[in-house]
Amino acid sequence: MDFVSQYWEQIIFIGALIIVATRLREQVTECRRDIDELTRRNTYAETVKLRAEFDAQVGNLQKQVSALWEFCNSMRDRQNGK
């Protein structure tokens, strides 16, 4: 008991350090989970944006191909005298 009464300040300090370290570790773990979740959300949002851009480009490409075929057909008709 003499040991506890002699070093009580250091024992309380070490106990407080253990509590603070445990809380900090939990907060870091929670922050990492939050960052991972945000990264997944941003990845999903970026994927949706890229998909929309891709669909728009495909639509434009289809229009251009249709216009090219119409031009080829009109040129063929002119050549055949129609």
Task: Compute the mean pLDDT over every residue in the chain, rounded to the nearest whole number.
Answer: 88
Q: Which domain holds residue 19?
A: 2-80
d(CA 82, CA 79): 8
Number of domains in the chain: 1
| Joined tokens for residue 67 | 């216009």
Regarding pTM above 0.85, the answer is no
| Joined tokens for residue 15 | 């106990």
- Residue 40 pLDDT grade (very low, low, confident, very high; cuts 50, 70, 90): confident
What does the pLDDT read at residue 82? 64
DSSP 28-78: HHHHHHHHHHHHHHHHHHHHHHHHHHHHHHHHHHHHHHHHHHHHHHHHHHH
Strand, helix or coil at 9? helix
Digit-coded pLDDT (tens) for 49-60: 888 988 889 888
